[in-house]
Chains A and B, each alone.
Chain A
Amino acid sequence: MNRNQKIKLYLFLFLLAAAVVFAVLFPRLTLPFGFAYIIYLMSRPFALRLTTGSRKQRLSYFALIMVSLTFLCFPLFATLNSVDTDFSGLSNQLPEVQKVLQDKFFALKVMVFEKYGIRINIDPVTYIMSKVESQGSILVSHFPDYLSSLFEWMLLVPMFLYFFFMESKNSSRSFLESVPNSIFEKSYVLFSQFNAKFGEYIIAKFIEATILGTLVTLGLLLVGFPYPFILGFVAGVTNILPYIGPVIGFVPALFVALLSKDPNVSMLSMFLIYAIANLIDMILVFPLLVSKIVNLHPIVVVVSIIIGSQLAGIVGMIVIIPFIAFFKLLFKEIYKDLSVHL
C-alpha cells in the first residue's frame, strides 16, 4: 500500500469514527434516523416488489411510507383506549396495592418477631410506593417534553423514511465509492449482510411480539382476567427481549393475580395462558422466524442484552442482538483471513 492509499484509508476511518461520535452526541437526530432506517429495512422487500418496473416510483414510495407508518401505529392507536382504561384502573388500584402489601409485610414482621424474636424496623413498602409515585409524577411533569419529542419524531421519521426510499441507492453508492479499494470488497459484503440480518431480525421480532401479545390478550379475555389488553401489550413488547423478556412480561400479570380479590381471577388459568403462549412461541414461532437469523449462544444473548441496556436502555436491549450477530460475522471473517495469511 503506498502513501496515498494509506492516507485515503486513515481519512475514511477517521470520518467513520467522526460519524459515530456525531451519532452519540446528537441522539435527538440519531434515534429517529435509526427508527426510520429500521422501518426502511422492514419494508424494503415490499418496496422492491412494488416499484420494480413502476414508473410512478415517488407515488409508490409515498404510499408505502403511509402503509408502513399505519401498520406500525395502528395496533398502538387501536388498543390505546383499552390500554388507557387498563392503565387508569391499575393507577386507581395503587393505594389498595399499597395497603395489601403493607398488611402482608406487617404479618411477616409479626411472624418473624414471634418465631425468632427479631424486630424488623425497615419499611420497604412505603419506600417502594413513594418511589413509584415520584416516578409517576416525574413522568407527568415531563409529559410536555415527551409530547414535543413525539411531534419531532412524527416530522422526522417520515422525512428520513422518504430519504431512504428515494435516495438510499445514490447515497449508498457515493458512500461506497469513497471506501478505499483495500477494504472495499469485504466491507461491502459485510455491510450488505448486516443490513439483511438487521432487517430480517427486526421484522421477525415484530411479528413474534405481535403473535405472542395477541395470544396472551385473547387467552386472558377468554378466562375473564382483568386488564387483558395492557397485559397482552406488555407481554408482546417484553417478548422482543430474548430469554428474560417472557419473565418480565409475566410479572405484571402475577401481581394482578396476587392482589385481585375477584373469585373469577384464577392464578392457574393465567399461568397456563402465559405458558401456552410462550410454548407456541418457543416451539413454532421462534424456530421458524428468528433462530436462523441470529445464531448466538444463550449466554452471549443474555450478556449482550445487559450490555445493550447499559449502553442505550430499552432500544439498546433490542438492537444489540443483530449487532452482536454482525460482530460475530466480522470476527469470523477477520479470523479466517488471519489464519490464511499467517
Chain B
Amino acid sequence: MSVGFVLPIMLLLPLAGALIVAAGRNKFSRNGLAGIATASVGVSFAAALAALLALRSLPEGEALRHRLIDWGSWGGEPFALGLLGDEVSIWWMLVVTGVGFLIHLYSAEYMADEADYGRYFAKLNYFVFAMSLLVLSDNFLGLLIGWANVGVASFLLIGFWNRRQAAAEAARKAFIVNAVGEVGLILAAVLIFAQFGGWTFERVFQGVETAPVGALTAIGLLLLIGAVAKSAQLPLHVWLPDAMQGPTPVSALIHAATMVTAGVYLVVRAYPIYEAAPLALHAVAVAGACSALFGAIVAVGQSDFKRVLAFSTMSQVGFMMLGAGVGAYEAAMFHFMTHAFFKALLFLLAGVIIHHLGGEQDIRRMGGVGKQMPAVYAMFLVGVLAIAGAPGLAGFFSKEEILHAVYMRGEVILWALGVAAASLTAFYMVRLFCLVFAGEPHGGHEGGAGGRGPGVVILIPLAVLTLLSISGGWLHIPGVTDVTGAYLGGFFDRFSRRVALIGQAPAWLGWLTIAAAGVAAWLSAMWFRPQGMGWKTARAAAGRADQGPLAAGFFVDSFYQALVVRPLIGLSKLIGLAVDPWVVDGIVKGLSGLAARAGSAVQAVHRGHMRRYALSVAAGAGLALLYVLVV
C-alpha cells in the first residue's frame, strides 16, 4: 500500500507537463517546451518502472493502490477515483509511457519546423495523461472518464493542422465514430451499476460468480461496442485511415501503438465478465479475426504510405482482439507490446521518408529511397520482418502465440482467417517495402527534396525501437524463455473458467504460418520488384486517385455515407427548412407577440383617470357582494 504513491506520479506528471507547456507555449523557448514535455513522460516511464519493481516485491495477487479523489458515497458504496497498479495496468503503462517517451523525443526534432510547437506538445502530453487515466483507473467509471479524454486528445491531435479541411473533417469523424462506442460503454457502465451496485473492478469481479449470464453477456457486448470503436475494428474502423491526417508521430503514438489498443485493454481488463459470458467473448474473437483479415486485404490496395500502415494497424489490433477473444489474454498483451514497438518504428520511419521526399505520401511515386538513406532502409527492413512474422523477430513470437491459442481452442475457422491475415500481412508489407525502397528514385525525388536527413534526436528513438522490434519477442520463446508468463503469474487464472489445454500444439502449426507468410512475401516481391508487373502498374497509376474495392476499403465509408450521414444531413436540412422557422420560431415569436398585444390591450385601462379607477373598485366590490349574496 505504501508504494502506491508512484501511481499518481505516473498519472499526473504528463498532465502537469501539458498544463505548463500550454501556459508557456508563447513564452518558453522551443527547446524548453520539448524538454518539459519529453521529461514529464520520461519521468512517468521511470515511475512505471518503479511501480513494476514494487509490484514484483508484493505477494502474488496483490496490487498497488492509491485513492486519488474521494467523491463521497452513493447508496452506501464508497465512490472514489482510485488508481490500481496490477500486472495488466503496469504492463500497459510501461508501453504507453515508454513508447510515448521515444515518440516525444522524436517529435522534438520532427516537428521543428512547426509554428505551433507548444500546442503540439501540450496536446501530446495531454494524450499520455488521458491514456494513463484510462489504464490506471480501478473502476469502470474512471476508465470511462479516461476513455472520453483519450477521444478528445485524439480529436485534438488529428486536427492539429486545423487550417486543413481534410484534417478537421478527419478529426470530427474520429470523434463521432468514437462517440458511438462511448454510448456502448456508458450503457455498459449503467448496467454494471444496476447489476453490481458499484463500479470498482474488485466489486464487479467478485459479483460475477452470482450474476445472471444474460446481464453479463449484455455488459460484455456493450463493452465490445466501445472497444470496437476505439480499436478501429469492424464495423467501426472507418475513422482510423482518415486519422492519418494528423502529424506522423501522432499516428505512431496514438493511432498505432497505444490508443487503438484501449479496446484490447478493456477486454483484457474485463476478462472475468467475458469468461462468464462465452457468447460475448466469442463476439470479441469474431470481430478481431474479421478485422485482422479485412485490414490486411484492404492494406494491399492502398497507395498512401500512412494509410497502408493504418489498415495494417487495424489488422494487427484485430489479432490482439482475436487472442483476447479465445481467452489467450497473455498472448494479446504480448502482441500489444511487440506491435507497439514495430508499428511505432514503421510509422516514425514513414515520417522520416515523407519528410525526405518533401511531403510525398504516394508510394507509387517513391522508389530508390534505400540508396539515399541506408540506415532508414535497414531499420525499415527490420520493421517489415517483425510485422510480417519472420522467425526470431518480435512479431513472430507474439503472433504465433495468438494463432496457437486460437487453434488449440478449436476455433479452426478463426484460426484459418488469422493465418490468411498473417500471410497477407507479409504480402502488403513487402509490397510497401518494394515500392518505397527498390529501383531508382522516381517522380522528381532524386535529390531528396526534403533537404537534411534525420538528426541524432530522431535516430536515437529509431535505434531503440529497432532493437526492441528485434528482441521484444524474446520475452517469451516457447521452451526457452517465459518472462511474460513469470510476470503475469496466475493473474488470469483467478477468474478463468477455461479447461486447461490438453497436449502439445502440433509442430506443423508454426511451420505452416511461416511457410504461408514466406510464400506470400515471395509472391509480393516477385510482383512488386522493379521488373515485376505490379511495380509497372503502380508506377503507371502514380498520382491518380485510387480505384476499385480494395482502395476504397470495400466501400464501407460510402455505405455509412449513404445510410447514416446523408439521411442525417437531409433530416437536419428538413428541420432547418420546415421545423425551425415555422415551429420553433413560431412558438417564440408567437409568445412575444402575445405579450406585446396583451400589453397594448391592458394599456387602454390605465389612462390615469382616477374616478374611473374608483368606479372599477366599486364595481368589483359590488360584484363581490353580489357573489356573496347569491352564492
Asked if A and B bind, the verdict is no
